Amino acid sequence: MTEKELYAQKLEGEKQALDARLAEMEAQKDVDAADEKLYDLRVAREKREAFAKKLEEFRAQGQEYWQGVKADVDAAVQDYARALEKERQRSAQRREVSSQKREAELRQFDAQVDQISSLLKRNSAEDLLLTGQEFELIRGSLNTVRQFLARLRHTEGSKNWDETKAQFEQVWRDFLERSRKITSASAEEQPPAHP
């Protein structure tokens, strides 16, 4: 490879690293936006509690006063029913937001993996002061990370997603730690350069 080709390869790697950083930032923005859209059941629970309270008041009333409390109980049960209906309508929206959040997280993970891949692409083993075996070990570990990312991509169900995501994150942390140890140990073994 000529010096120009090597430099072009290095620039392509830098471009990919910057593109990966941008993709990671965009994905994080999407994750944050999805978190804000999630609707909780707070309103429905408040309506349930209000209805239960009115029902208890209704039961506690004597036979002669129950008509006065009946309207309050009817209003409370209608509020509760409306809150549940609203929640039912929003459940599809929540599922969509959850799906968007997963996609955003996957894009973020992809970007992180791409960033490391581009680093390996733009730097040869010599540039990183690694032996061929160490370089291949890092590449092999990165392939393991990619396999876990592929598993995560095909995971369905929130419980399975959470478990698989935790496994992926652990593999990712292990990869980063292993890579750090390899590169730092390799750098320590190199003889100092003479001026």
Give residue limits of the domains in the chain: 3-97, 123-187
d(CA 126, CA 171): 26
Q: Range with the lowest mean pLDDT among 51-65, 86-100, 119-133?
A: 119-133
Residue 193: per-residue pLDDT: 43
| Tens digit of each residue's pLDDT (9 = 90 or more) over 67-113 | 677 777 788 878 888 877 777 777 777 778 778 888 888 888 888 88
d(CA 16, CA 123): 13
Residue 147: per-residue pLDDT: 92
Closest-CA residue to 13 (of 95, 128, 93, 101): 128
d(CA 80, CA 76): 6
Residue 153: per-residue pLDDT: 87
**What's the chain's average pLDDT?**
74
d(CA 63, CA 52): 19
d(CA 71, CA 163): 49
Split at pLDDT 50, 70, 90, the class of 191 is: very low
d(CA 62, CA 69): 10
Residue 170: per-residue pLDDT: 92
Q: Do 156 and 143 contact (CB within 8 A), yes or no?
A: no
Average pLDDT of the residues in 22-47: 66
CA distances in angstroms from 65 to 73, 78, 124, listed in the order given: 13, 21, 87
